Structure 1
Amino acid sequence: MPNLSTLALPNLKNYPYCKINIYGLVPTCIVRLYGGQVTSWKNEQGDELLFVSSKAVFKSPGAIRGGIPICFPQFGTHGNLEKHGFARNRLWLVDDNPPPLPVNSGIKTYADLILKPSEEDLKIWPHRFEFRLRVALGPKGDLFLTSRIRNTNTDGKPFSFTFAYHTYFSVSDISEVRIEGLETMDYFDNLKGKERFTEQGDALVFESEIDKVYLDTPPKIAIIDHEKKRTFVLRKDGLPDAVVWNPWERRSKTILDFGDEEYKHMLCVEPAAVEKPITLKPGEEWKGRLELSAVPSSYYSGQLDPDKVLHG
């Protein structure tokens, strides 16, 4: 049985959350029923690995600024739907009838949530669906998110959607961070009218605002925090793209639920399906999976050493 509890928060403006842990100890994870959103992930030392803004608002109608918001049924802004879709702004339920765990999955504890459209949702996006989300921890504290989206339309109509795990990582200093695994990839630059470019250089480093959608990316990406000597390793399946975002100084001052200087301590790297929308016929199901791990890393000539996590 999962070590799972659903707790009511003392502030009634906040929504309840599920706390996931292993045998009552760290590592731990908190996923809130509001938004189906992970807002905390701590390692064995109790270090917080996800960024949540000090100005984040934990109540409807907005999304929580930080953690891992879920962008569905769209990423970005298109048509009548709100930016990044409505899934991150809805109250999810604990799933009483989740799909079974795969054999020998290595998952030790988990929570299953479900989202179905309300009548109001159907007015703005006229498609019936079941969105099942499993948030799990492995024995070493790795964090797993598995999304299963099924078309339950009874009118025979397919629907299409885009998707992202809008993951906010906590970093020591954005100027001390690099990303490996996206070099030579094509990307759309949202700061330049979504013009298409090819990434140059051996790795991504950060000196100014960035908002890019990398296309057909590899299944493994590494975020290297030199100051903390920590590497986040992202492994993804069913999510071909990767969004990289940091608002930097000028943009940060325009975001109401974000501190002016907080851009220095966060980086969004978001496994996504953006360029090519996913289409489901009635009865069909899509699955997108994200695995996150945080490992100690040392450096030699600017490269990961000794594990070479990108190629392991």
Structure 2
Amino acid sequence: MMRLLHIVVCIISAFTITFTENVEAYNKSVEITKGINDLDKVILHGYKGTSVEVYLYGAQVTSWKNEHNEEMLFVSSKAIFKPPKPIRGGIPICFPQFSNLGPLQSHGFARNSFWTIDIDPPPFTPNVTNSVFVDLLLLPTEEDLKIWPHRFEYRLRITLGPKGDLILTSRIKNTNTDGTPFTFTFAHHTYFSVSNISEVRVEGLEKLDYLDNLKNRTRFTDQGDAITFNSETDKIYLSTPSKISVLDNEKNRTFVIRKDGLPDAVVWNPWAEKAKTIVDLGEDDYKQMLCVEAAAIEKPIKLMPGEEWKARLELSAVPSCYFRGKNDSNKVLEGT
């Protein structure tokens, strides 16, 4: 009996030590701190010095750095970190409306709402092994309900993978109690940091239909081999593949966008003249940014009470492969 008791005590002690070590490791990997203008933010510390910073204001990722401490996301030199102004750059969340395609303010209210850390989230799809993550939650305020009279739960998991990949997993649930369905459009408005917009190309969207926002959303079919930039661009590509690549020749870096539940993709750069009209964007900032946004726009998502919508965005950065001066995008788009 004494021997059995000794074994039980040892097991409990071992579990306590392991649990304590795990909590301490988590606390070191997930840092809750203050950002610009004393706004709350969370920093995820990953393997080999990779990191992600996310503000609770807007649940907005504003920094994503690789193991060489290189910044992958663009944030405007004139970004205003002061509510109710949205933060210009990083990855704003457009919900429950993309752009002005509806009665709400442009891009909805999620990007300038205060989110909370979700301390008791329901089970997510098994997370990436050895990853670091934070769960955030958005519930409608009384002011939100006045302009969009629907109750919902928006749960967002932001994950930094062991190889430095950034993963955003969204779960939006209709919690209306009166039997009312609702519809919404959505986008992760990702601002990539690039060396020079004139040296960048987007591959994976060629030959697809798109709506041109510069021409009253007229529908066209892309005729090029890739998307390149020499003027203002604002297009919504429809029924896009699950993988898209953004090739930055000067940095010899390719961003790979993998998405699920987000059939559309927006490609945007304001160029010189439009940039001058955007008060929270530096005059030359357009040269170092490109937005390629995973989205659900053409066919709004409809949820009945109790139903939940799920979507996943995974971003990674890999060295570009060259052969006689040309980037081999097939290796990027077809790779795992």
Same fold (TM > 0.5): yes
Aligned counterpart in structure 2 of residue 186 of structure 1, from 200, 206, 209? 209
SS of residue matched to 2:278: coil
Aligned counterpart in structure 1 of residue 88 of structure 2, from 39, 42, 65? 65
- 1:150 alignment partner in structure 2: 173
Does structure 1 residue 22 correspond to structure 2 residue 43?
A: no
Inter-partner Cα distance in structure 2 for 1:190 and 1:159: 25
Structure having the higher helix fraction is 2
Does structure 1 residue 249 correspond to structure 2 residue 272?
A: yes
Q: Which amino acid aligns with 2:155?
A: R
Give CA deviations for 1:88-124 in whole Å, capped at 9, x if unaligned: 0001000011233434633510010000000010000
Structure having the higher strand fraction is 1
SS of residue matched to 2:235: strand
- 1:39 alignment partner in structure 2: 62
Distance change (3 Å), C-alpha of 1:107 and 1:212 = farther
SS of residue matched to 2:254: strand
- 2:133 alignment partner in structure 1: 110
Q: Is the 8 A contact 1:107 1:136 kept in 2?
A: no
Q: Is the 8 A contact 1:174 1:267 kept in 2?
A: yes
By how many angstroms is 1:305 displaced? 3.6
Give CA deviations for 1:256-285 in whole Å, capped at 9, x if unaligned: 000011100000000000000000000000
- 2:305 alignment partner in structure 1: 282
Aligned counterpart in structure 1 of residue 150 of structure 2, from 122, 127, 132? 127
- 1:266 alignment partner in structure 2: 289
- 1:240 alignment partner in structure 2: 263
What is the correspondence of 1:159-178 to structure 2 with a 5 Å cutoff? Answer: 159-178=182-201
Give CA deviations for 1:40-70 in whole Å, capped at 9, x if unaligned: 0000100000000010011101110000000
Q: Which amino acid aligns with 2:226?
A: A
SS of residue matched to 1:122: helix
- 2:19 alignment partner in structure 1: none
Distance change (3 Å), C-alpha of 1:61 and 1:103 = closer
Inter-partner Cα distance in structure 2 for 1:306 and 1:212: 21
SS of residue matched to 2:332: coil
Give CA deviations for 1:122-181 in whole Å, capped at 9, x if unaligned: 000000000000000111000000010000000000000000000000000000000110
By how many angstroms is 1:298 displaced? 2.4
Inter-partner Cα distance in structure 2 for 1:105 and 1:217: 25
Q: Which amino acid aligns with 2:199?
A: E
Inter-partner Cα distance in structure 1 for 2:130 and 2:172: 21
By how many angstroms is 1:306 displaced? 8.3
Inter-partner Cα distance in structure 2 for 1:8 and 1:306: 40
Q: Is the 8 A contact 1:114 1:131 kept in 2?
A: yes
Aligned counterpart in structure 2 of residue 196 of structure 1, from 186, 207, 219? 219
Q: Which amino acid aligns with 1:194?
A: R
User: Percent identity between the aligned chains?
Assistant: 63
Inter-partner Cα distance in structure 1 for 2:133 and 2:106: 29
Q: Is the 8 A contact 1:185 1:198 kept in 2?
A: yes
Q: Which amino acid aligns with 2:214?
A: L
> Aligned pairs, how many?
309
Q: Is the 8 A contact 1:107 1:137 kept in 2?
A: no
Q: Is the 8 A contact 1:14 1:59 kept in 2?
A: no
In structure 2, stretches of 5+ residues that fail to align are 1-21
Inter-partner Cα distance in structure 2 for 1:181 and 1:54: 30
Bigger radius of gyration among the two: 2
Inter-partner Cα distance in structure 1 for 2:136 and 2:147: 23
Q: Is the 8 A contact 2:203 2:329 kept in 1?
A: no
What is the correspondence of 1:77-92 to structure 2 with a 5 Å cutoff? Answer: 77-92=100-115
Inter-partner Cα distance in structure 2 for 1:236 and 1:8: 31
Q: Which amino acid aligns with 2:184?
A: F
In structure 1, stretches of 5+ residues that fail to align are none
- 1:137 alignment partner in structure 2: 160
Q: TM-score, normalised by structure 2?
A: 0.89
